[in-house]
Amino acid sequence: MANLNPVDSFANFDENRLMKLAGYYKSEFGDNQLRDLSYQLDSFIVYARQCDSKFLNLKGIKDLAIVMAKIKLDQTWSLVHLLVKLTLILHAATASVERAFSSMKLIKNDLRNRVGEEFLNGCLVCKIERKVFATISNDAIMDRFQRMKPRRVQL
């Protein structure tokens, strides 16, 4: 991600590393798009370093995305802009996955090591989305469970 940083006229720019990063997004970049991205990166970096003064004082990738959208370069270099957007959401996506694993560590401890997958998923949803569940009253939850059919069969 640091290879897209516009500080010092893209001093950290490394096309090979950016292509490797794009390769991780198989659903976004197929073989043809990867080839086109390589060409777009080459032409974009030449343009950004030499032709447009708007890229001179940028402080980060967020500023790069804003400038690209503002002067409509997101249409000219659409794949470069897509790669910039994906790098911006990478932090949020990583944080949410880490939060889910830390919640799972709290819920599935030694005492509950044999918890079934369905029950574990239910517990994790309640833990991760606790802000949503905080808005629901306990009476509404109890009423819903009381209206449910019994899950265990009587022998």
Three state DSSP letters for 105-124: HHHCCCCCCCCCHHHHHHHH
Residue 68 lies in a domain: yes
- Residue 68: domain span: 2-94
Domain closes at, from 94, 110, 138: 94
pLDDT digits 0-9 by tens, 81-134: 888 888 878 776 666 777 777 766 766 665 566 667 777 777 777 777 778 888
Q: Tell me: do 76 and 103 sit in the same domain.
A: no
For residue 75, what are its two tokens?
């249409």
pLDDT > 90: percent of the chain: 0
Q: Tell me: do 115 and 128 sit in the same domain.
A: yes
What pTM does this model have? Answer: 0.54
Query: Rounded mean pLDDT of the chain?
Result: 75
Q: Tell me: do 59 and 115 sit in the same domain.
A: no
């516009």: which residue's tokens?
6
For residue 99, what are its two tokens?
């939060």
Confidence of residue 151 (pLDDT cuts 50, 70, 90): low
Q: Tell me: do 39 and 113 sit in the same domain.
A: no
Q: Tell me: do 90 and 102 sit in the same domain.
A: no
Q: Tell me: do 86 and 102 sit in the same domain.
A: no
Confidence of residue 49 (pLDDT cuts 50, 70, 90): confident
Q: Tell me: do 80 and 119 sit in the same domain.
A: no
Q: Tell me: do 23 and 74 sit in the same domain.
A: yes
Confidence of residue 42 (pLDDT cuts 50, 70, 90): confident
Residue 152 lies in a domain: no
pLDDT digits 0-9 by tens, 137-150: 888 877 877 777 66
Q: Domain total for the chain? A: 2
Residue 116 lies in a domain: yes
Residue 154 lies in a domain: no
Q: Tell me: do 79 and 108 sit in the same domain.
A: no
3-state helix vs strand vs coil in the chain, percent to 5: 70, 0, 30
């009253």: which residue's tokens?
137
Q: Tell me: do 70 and 26 sit in the same domain.
A: yes
Q: Which of 72, 90, 64, 63 is nearest to 1 (CA)?
A: 90
**Which residue type occupies 82?**
L
Judged against a pLDDT cut of 60, whether residue 155 lies above it is answered with no
Q: According to the model, what pLDDT value does residue 1 have? A: 64
Q: Tell me: do 43 and 88 sit in the same domain.
A: yes
More confident residue, 114 or 64: 64
Confidence of residue 66 (pLDDT cuts 50, 70, 90): confident
Between CA 10 and CA 84 the distance in angstroms is 13
Q: Tell me: do 39 and 69 sit in the same domain.
A: yes
